[in-house]
Structures are given as structure tokens and as C-alpha cells.
Amino acid sequence: MTSLGLILAIGLLAAFLLIWVALQGVRSILAKQRSELETSTKTTLADMFIFLDAAQIFYYNVAALILLPTLVWLFTSNPVFVTFTAIATLVLPKYYIKSLGTKRLKRFEEQLPDALLMVSGAMRAGASLNVAMESMVKEQKPPLSQEFELMLREQRLGVDFDTALVNMEKRNPLQDFSLVVSGLRISREVGGNLAEILESLSTTLREKATMEGKIRSLTAQGKMQGIIMSCLPLLMMAALNWIEPKAMGAMFTTAFGWATLSVILVMITIGYLFIRKITTIDV
């Protein structure tokens, strides 16, 4: 009895230590997740003029982290699917915020040629640069109107024109916009026909956008093939699991099956990244 009690005590102590270590790990992961979400909310989302409570986003993320893996476990009873669901729940919010920023920058880049042409036309009609920008802001839609309006507000508060331009360039790190900023600053320092410079920049950016559109059209088939070839093994796996659940059960319930799944996912990811790299052409 004494030996049995000692073994039970050691077992309980070991279980307590494992639970404590697991809780510390979960606490560390959640603290890091909260810090990253707060940073993304204060920088990326704020730059996109989206003002949300960082704590609220974190609590929603924690609720999803508890709810989604639980639902997956109830429907599948598969620890592999539960693990992937938990990892996806942790990672997806950051990538979603990043994708929002990328889409906003893309929209800003698409609006830029028309905006420059409008400013150029207003200046040819006799308006000053600031008046032409104010007129353009009234006609354009977000995000471009938001960025230029913020720059004009900074100037009204006493910020230098060059400093306001640099601040806007930091918020929109685009190669095309850097070209526009350089043209504006050089024109103000050296002189010259700014309306003609802006019109030339608008034409150049429009031609560049046209070329990029042609490249996207020519590489669309390769990108789609990469997506299909990456998803095909997973779809085949799901179909076989539905047709022969007993034969496929070993892949989801044994260590060798989990190792095979890991190798499959790694190889699919590597293949997709290679195809994506080949079909991505930078102009």
C-alpha cells in the first residue's frame, strides 16, 4: 500500500507539473498573440483608417480558439484536424489583417494615375497645388482621398509639405508612389512645369498598370494550376476517406499516418511555393 500510494503521489505530481507547464505555454502563446494583435491594430488597421478595440479582437480570437477546435473534435474526433484548426485560428487573423493592408495599397495604386491627372488638369486651369489636391480629394474615393486629406490636414496644422509627403510615403510604401513623391519634391526644389510632370507620371503609371494586367492574364493559368495541383491530393484524401473510412483510418489515428500527413503537407506547400514563385513576375 505504501508503494502504491507513493506511485500515485508521484503520478499526481507529474500530472500537475505537466498541466502547469502546458498552462504556462498556453499563457505565453496567448500573451504573444495579444501583443501581435495590439500591434497590428494600432499600426496596420489604424493606417487603413479602421479603428477597432485591440482587446475586443483578442477576446474574439480566444473564443474562436476554444470553440472551433472543440467543434472539429465533436464532428471528427481527430486530433490532427483539431491541431491544424487551432494553428489556423492563431495564424489567420494576422494574415487577414495583412491582406486588408495589401488590398488597400493595391486600390491606392490603381487610383493614383487618375488622381495625378486630375491634379494636373486643375493646375493647368490656374489652381495652386494645394487647391488642386483639395479638389481631387473631393472627387476621389478612399483610400486615396483619405491619405491626401490627411496630408492636407497636416499642412494646415503647420507641417512642412516635404514632411507631410514623407509621412504619406511611409504609410503607403509603394514604388509608384515613391516616384510621385520624388517628382513633387524635386519640382518644388528645382522648379519646372509641375502640371506637365504630373501628367507624364500619370501616363507612365497607367502604362505600367496595363503591362502588369497583361502579365497577370498570361500567368493566371499557371497560378490556377498551382492551386488545383495543391488541392488535388487533399480532395483525393477526403474522397478516399469517405469511400473507404477503414482503410484510410490508419492515416489519421496512428503515428506513422500522422508522419505521412506531415510529409504530404510539407511537399504540397513546397510545390505550391515553387509554382507561385515561377508565375510571379515583378515589373
In a domain, 101, yes or no: no
pLDDT over threshold 80, residue 268: yes
162-196 as b/e: b if 16+ CB within 10 A:
eebbeebbebbeeebbeebbebbeebeeeeeebbe
pLDDT computed for residue 176 by the predictor: 86
Q: CA-CA distance, 215 to 281, in Å (whole number)?
A: 7
Q: Are residues 235 and 152 in the same domain?
A: no
Q: Are residues 189 and 230 in the same domain?
A: no
Domain boundary among 212, 233, 258: 212
In a domain, 3, yes or no: no
pLDDT computed for residue 52 by the predictor: 61
In a domain, 144, yes or no: yes
pLDDT computed for residue 66 by the predictor: 80
Q: Are residues 207 and 227 in the same domain?
A: no
Domain boundary among 212, 242, 266: 212
pLDDT over threshold 80, residue 59: no
Q: Are residues 236 and 273 in the same domain?
A: yes
In a domain, 81, yes or no: no
Q: How many domains does the chain have?
A: 2
Mean pLDDT of 81-100: 79
In a domain, 185, yes or no: yes
Q: Are residues 194 and 252 in the same domain?
A: no
pLDDT over threshold 80, residue 17: no
pLDDT over threshold 70, residue 133: yes
Taking the CA atoms of 232, 246, 264 and 86 in sequence, report the sign of the dihedral they define: positive
Q: Are residues 254 and 178 in the same domain?
A: no
For 136-156, the pLDDT digits (tens) are: 988 888 888 888 898 899 888
Those residues with Cβ within 8 angstroms of residue 73's Cβ, 6 or more apart along the chain or in another chain: 79, 82
Mean pLDDT of 234-249: 82
In a domain, 21, yes or no: no
> Looking at residue 45, what DSSP letter applies?
I
pLDDT computed for residue 194 by the predictor: 84
Q: Are residues 197 and 121 in the same domain?
A: yes
pLDDT computed for residue 12 by the predictor: 67
pLDDT computed for residue 234 by the predictor: 82
Q: CA-CA distance, 14 to 212, in Å (whole number)?
A: 60
pLDDT computed for residue 213 by the predictor: 84
In a domain, 227, yes or no: yes
Q: Are residues 122 and 183 in the same domain?
A: yes
pLDDT over threshold 60, residue 1: no
pLDDT band at 118 (very low <50, low <70, confident <90, very high): very high
Domain boundary among 195, 212, 229: 212
Comparing 44 with 269, which gets the higher pLDDT?
269
Q: Are residues 170 and 233 in the same domain?
A: no
In a domain, 140, yes or no: yes
Could you tell me the residue range of the domain that residue 119 belongs to? 114-212
pLDDT band at 77 (very low <50, low <70, confident <90, very high): confident
Q: Are residues 149 and 206 in the same domain?
A: yes
Q: Are residues 191 and 253 in the same domain?
A: no
Dihedral in degrees, nearest 10, Cα atoms 240, 241, 244, 247: 100
Comparing 25 with 129, which gets the higher pLDDT?
129
pLDDT band at 39 (very low <50, low <70, confident <90, very high): low
Percent of all residues in the chain with a pLDDT value above 90, rounded to a whole number: 2
Q: Are residues 199 and 236 in the same domain?
A: no
